[in-house]
Structure 1
Amino acid sequence: MSNNLKQKSLIPNKYLILIAGIVWMFAGTMVIETGLPYFISQGRYIFSVFLAASVFSVFYFFIFSKLVEKHTTRISKDNRKKMFIMEFFDRKSYLIMVVMILGGIIIRKFGLLPAFDIGFFYVGIGLALFSCGMKFVYKFKTSSL
């Protein structure tokens, strides 16, 4: 990437937190949209809702919320006034995101999990992603950067 293009892609740090929120909410919506047809077609709604809520709880409280805190802190403590627009994640988080996306595609394409499992798992993860996206947006609104 040329230096000139990178210079044009610098934004105030605070807005990286907003961008992260938008990206996470978009990703959550896409994951929910992918899993919802599987979720609905199974018909065992009470059990599916319980399982989706369990997946949501694990991913929201033990994984994604910690990442929200990690990235918000990293961005807030950076001494630069402006950062490259893609720095809302670090390299490790981009790698995790790619692995999760490719893993999901492979699981669905090769039928490695039954539709029932895909349905509640995707809905739970999607809701956790979307909720943590909202958490990023809240942190943007209340940030003193």
Structure 2
Amino acid sequence: MKKKSWYHVKKRMLLAIGCAAWMMAGINVFRMGIMAYFHLEKISIFQLFLSLLVFGAFGTMFYKISRKHLQRIQAYEAPLKPFWYFFDGKAYTIMAVMMSTGIWLRTSKVAAPEFIAIFYTGLGFALALAGIFFGVLYFRYTNMQE
């Protein structure tokens, strides 16, 4: 029998780690979007509507991704996994590309402040909601073989 490492956690805990990761990212991105809105001279209903559209698109996508992560975590045969297994390689790659692109868009000033406000608010709210979904899965998850 293998010795348990300090970095191995129960499969259910991967959901809690996912919750924390998605929530931290979502709150931070949402905060940047709100700050960008506050720096605009005028906020229109149309801009807020566009933020809702961004939220809807990413919210749908993140919900599907969260379901896939749940299925992947459930399918792990070993009851203990390294804590970084809350994401798979593809998810880490997507996260790195999204973060790099976002940082580049803001620091290079390529994207207009209106775009940052609209996009980041919708995206951040969708990310945070995905985090909440992971948290709900953590608390509701009773079928996992610990």
Q: Is TM more than 0.5 here?
A: yes
Query: What's 1:58 paired with?
Result: 57
Q: Deviations over 1:81-133 (max 9, x none)?
A: 11100000001100110100000011111111100011010000000000010
CA distance in 2 between counterparts of 1:80 and 1:39 reads 46
1:89 corresponds to which of 87, 90, 97? 87
| Cα RMSD after superposing both structures | 1.6
**One-letter code of the match for 2:30?**
I
**One-letter code of the match for 1:51?**
L
Look up the SS of the partner of 2:90 in the other structure: helix
CA distance in 2 between counterparts of 1:66 and 1:122 reads 20
**TM, length-normalised to structure 1:** 0.92
CA distance in 2 between counterparts of 1:44 and 1:116 reads 9
The alignment status of 1:80 with 2:116, answered yes or no, reads no
| Number of aligned residue pairs | 141
Query: What's 1:44 paired with?
Result: 43
**One-letter code of the match for 1:18?**
A
**TM, length-normalised to structure 2:** 0.92
Query: What's 1:103 paired with?
Result: 101
Q: Deviations over 1:27-69 (max 9, x none)?
A: 00110122211112222242221111000000001x1111100
Query: What's 1:9 paired with?
Result: 7
CA distance in 1 between counterparts of 2:34 and 2:19 reads 22
2:134 corresponds to which of 122, 125, 136? 136
Look up the SS of the partner of 2:84 in the other structure: coil
Unaligned runs of 5+ in 1: none
User: 8 Å contact 1:55–1:121 — kept in the other structure?
Assistant: yes
CA distance in 2 between counterparts of 1:69 and 1:106 reads 30
Look up the SS of the partner of 2:33 in the other structure: helix
Q: Which moved more, 1:114-123 or 1:38-47?
A: 38-47
